[in-house]
Structure 1
Amino acid sequence: MHGTPVAPTCRAAGEHLRGRVAVVTGGARGVGAAVARSLSDAGVCLALLGRKEESLRQVAAALPTRSICVESDVTDRAALATAARRVEAELGPASVVVANAGIAVSGPFDQTAAELWQQVVDVNLTGSANTARAFLPQLISTHGYFLQVASTAAFGSAPMMSAYCASKAGAESFALALRGEVRPHGVQVGIAYVHWTGTDMLRGIDDHPVLTALRRHQPVPARRIHTPDQVAKWLTRGIAQRSPHIYAPPWLRWCQPLRPLFPALVARVARRELQASPSGTPFSGAEVLGASERADRRSYPDSPSSPPSEPC
């Protein structure tokens, strides 16, 4: 346990974030860890969910408010159900749930192992649905807020990123459908559209010609890589306002009306890049993006069954 509790049980109180309980999946690093820090600075009690207890504890150690760590995989419904029970018992019912856990794989579809392709969809799409299923009863009781972290990959699918783009587009669609179902219960569903962010997942982008070309052809402001802490501030502000859409950076909101144009533009750039490659494709195989994520996947069981961790 770290920090001084804001309230005995950290239950939701009033219309402000202070004293509320938030759950963040993928909370060990990147945007998830930054969102946890930003919410904690706002007085929110945190439940950090992720695949590696040690990594979660490192984040929790710096949080000023009460926090617990639960080692669980979002593809494991039983583990998430256990996590939800722990959160309610130790912190109180969640008022905010941030479905942030995600992985990305780059490479040609026909050279990506079917199991790896499926894993991206299982984490990014099905994992978000599993998270919502586990915590929806608590969100209904608190009239809470569910935030689906999506991506501008949902705007226009990039070749060599088929699983990631499909899963993020699916996550957006899932969140839109869920919004209509839970609104009568007082639950709001938000979607966060995150652009280039300086996380471990983005490192090595220069080794991926199609992504590099797509970024090079974007307007100068759109090429900027934002820090996870800056993205977290935008997300936290949207969470506090229970926004239906959160854009990181905010100017992305003006891209929504242009979305019908993006697939053709992306296809044109990608086709030019692929044709310029001597082999017809600039990749020799598929790989998980992010050194830390690759390490986690190697060291974690294929079928996670680890028990929840002890409180941080």
Structure 2
Amino acid sequence: MRRGPLSGRTAVVTGAARGVGAALARELAARGMRVALLGHEGDRLRRLAGELPVPALAHEVDITDDAALAVAADSVRTGLGTPSVVVANAAVADAGLFADSDPARWRRIIDVNLTGSAATARTFLPDLTATKGYHLQVASLAAIGAAPLMSAYCASKAGAEAFAHSLRAEVAHLGVAVGLGYLTWTGTDLIEDADRHSVMRELRGHMPWPVRDVYPVDRAAARLALAVERRSMAVYYPRWLRLAQPVRAAMPAVVTRAARHYLPRIEARSPLRHTDLLGGGGTADAKATGAS
């Protein structure tokens, strides 16, 4: 463990059972933080908690359930102390044409990625106010430039970005900092699962370099941990993603023009069948909520 400004403090990470959340928990623990791991998949959360070199707590919870989140927060305060860092990382995704989308699944993606992020912030805001802490909302390139075949995910991430901007303005005078972490395709099991579906494999394949590349999850987590340490307003991984911000107003027209050409070609080769929720996290969320 490294001694530094985060050492001895408590962090909460949602969606911590796998992927970016689990990797970030390890990074924060390496910086000496006590870490509360929230999400589905209790066995994975408990196993990760046991592997960390710091006091850690695993709490299985649906972040869209306000009452359950309140119980989780009490557990964190009792077990680890008042949180001074909260990372809203939990997210789910599917892919396919909006016209073919399942309405319940579409709403669930919005509920987890946007409403769940807001519920997380609401639950822990008293703690962040007391500690003059830091809230990090994990966003996405999808918040900057929406892509076809991912309407619910893009809408939810754009909404989470706007929510974080609004929250930042409301709590700045209280000494609470709010940051946004922008990631692109990251090497989690969600992306591995996505690439098994022709609709997602084709979508990513038609994106320009370097947007279509998949980047290491550990490096993404290290960038987010550095943002926590510095209380950054925004962090980008990979770094070139920052360049999308100045040109985001032009991106819808560019994406539409490109999609008009490549979507018919994709569909001619393979039907654009809609996926279920992607990855192990998506499967766990569907199982926990009884979704098909």
The whole-number CA distance in structure 2 between the counterparts of 1:125 and 1:226 is 24
Aligned residue number for residue 176 of structure 1: 165
1:148 lines up with 2:137 in the alignment = yes
Structure number with the higher helix fraction is: 2
> Per the alignment, in what secondary structure is the counterpart of residue 247 of structure 2?
helix
What CA deviation, in whole Å up to 9, does each residue of 1:248-299 have, x standing for no partner? 1122112210111211222222221222245698413342121x13431343
CA 1:172–1:67 in 2, change beyond 3 Å: closer, same or farther? same
CA 1:35–1:207 in 2, change beyond 3 Å: closer, same or farther? same
Q: 1:300 aligns with which of 279, 288, 291?
A: 288
> Per the alignment, in what secondary structure is the counterpart of residue 222 of structure 1?
coil
1:43 lines up with 2:35 in the alignment = no
Gaps of 5+ in 2: none
1:106 lines up with 2:78 in the alignment = no
1:22 lines up with 2:20 in the alignment = no
The whole-number CA distance in structure 2 between the counterparts of 1:15 and 1:136 is 24
Contact 1:19 1:43 in 2 (8 A): yes
Shift of 1:128: 0.3
Query: What is the aligned-residue RMSD (CA, Å)?
Result: 2.2
Percent of residue pairs bearing the same amino acid type: 46
Pairs within 5 Å for 1:87-236: 87-203=76-192, 204-205=194-195, 207-209=197-199, 212-219=202-209, 221-236=210-225
Contact 1:210 1:273 in 2 (8 A): no
The whole-number CA distance in structure 1 between the counterparts of 2:59 and 2:200 is 37
> Per the alignment, in what secondary structure is the counterpart of residue 223 of structure 1?
coil
The TM-score, its normalising length taken from structure 1, stands at 0.87
The TM-score, its normalising length taken from structure 2, stands at 0.93
> Per the alignment, in what secondary structure is the counterpart of residue 104 of structure 1?
coil
Gaps of 5+ in 1: 7-13, 304-312
Contact 2:96 2:199 in 1 (8 A): no
